[in-house]
Amino acid sequence: MDTTSQEQTKKFEPPAATAAAAVETATQTGSKTRVSARDVNVHYGEKQALFDVSIDIPDRGVTAFIGPSGCGKSTFLRCLNRMNDTIEGCRVTGKILLDDVDIANPDLDVVELRARVGMVFQKPNPFPKSIYENVAYGPRIHGMTSSKDELDEIVYSSLRRAGLYEEVKDRLDQPGTGLSGGQQQRLCIARAIATKPEVLLMDEPCSALDPIATAIIEELIDELRENFTIVIVTHSMQQAARVSQKTAFFHLGKLIEEGPTEQIFTNPLDKKTQDYITGRIG
Ligand SMILES: Nc1ncnc2c1ncn2[C@@H]1O[C@H](COP(=O)(O)OP(=O)(O)O)[C@@H](O)[C@H]1O
Ligand SMILES: [Mg+2]
């Protein structure tokens, strides 16, 4: 009897263990939590796409979302800056805090939220405007500058941080759409960081790029992580292993496992994660 009740007590321990793991992760990355999601459920009409997803995204550094196609990675990423609001029939429940502020708060200005939580998409999508205007657009609509000099400074520094300035400094007035794919993606990153976001969401940012452009973007992500909290969706486990410090594995709309990237790839706790990283599923 005693043994049984002890075993039962043990069974109810996982929440404490999970909390301990979370603290450990936070300590390992040496940072506080920037985004905290609890019990996030997402429906598209009748169809449920995410089930009770809870995760803490640490400040600075890169968190990777991996998992088979259709498992809900993009859906969850879009929850973080309320981009799902723009999809008809999409319903999000649960709680998401950005620096302790509930992003579902109706008083919150969504445009401002999306400046604080910037996004880079799979396919580079520069505006049909000049290189300069692509980057100047955000700071201008958010009234971040009071003079042309200040605006110039933000545009140049954003292009520099995105590793693009040297390649385009002599043709800033030319269309952004005239650049190569890899350059366009760096332009989109420059545009996203120009509004000084706290969090940068990247949904498979390299999937339309060749290996050389991909390597440049990965290097860039590695530099940006010092100053930004980056969340990247990738279907490439190699990429997740190269660029992230924390990895979350999704499967059929559920967050199966998360933890330090090295642990997820070398010593996953869940069989599904194991199966995925060894190529048995997905
Ligand atoms: N706009 C949408 N309308 C309806 N269903 C969607 C929409 N976007 C995604 N879904 C569905 O939600 C599930 C998760 O999709 P998604 O988040 O795109 O997965 P992933 O990014 O991991 O490939 C899939 O079943 C997909 O078909
Ligand atoms: Mg996706």
Q: 158-179: per-residue pLDDT in tens?
A: 999 999 999 999 999 999 999 9
What is the distance in A from the centroid of ligand 2 to the CA of 204? Answer: 7
Of ligand 1's atoms, which has the minimum distance to the CA of residue 47? 5
pLDDT over 50 at 1, yes or no: no
Q: Which residues contact 32 (CB under 8 A, 6 or more apart)?
A: 26, 58, 59
Mean pLDDT of the chain: 90
Q: Which ligand is closest in space to the CA of residue 249? A: 1
Instruction: Determine the residue of 41, 73, 75 to mutate for testing ligand 1's pocket, defined as the one with the most ligand atoms within 8 A of the Cβ atom.
Output: 75
Q: What pLDDT sits at residue 14?
A: 36
| Residues in the 5 Å CB sphere of ion ligand 2 | 74
pLDDT over 60 at 16, yes or no: no
Pocket flag, ligand 1, residue 184 (CB < 6 Å): no
Q: Which of 103, 123, 243 is nearest to 187 (CA)?
A: 123
What is the distance in A from the centroid of ligand 2 to the CA of 46? Answer: 20
Pick the CATH number of 3-125+198-277 from 3.40.50.10470, 3.40.250.10, 3.30.70.3270, 3.40.50.300: 3.40.50.300
Neighbours of 157 (CB within 10 A): 15
Q: What is the pLDDT of residues 101-128, one digit of tens each?
A: 999 998 999 999 999 999 999 999 999 9
Q: Which residue CA neighbors atom 12 of ligand 1 most closely?
A: 49
Q: What pLDDT sits at residue 8?
A: 40
Output the pTM of the full model: 0.88
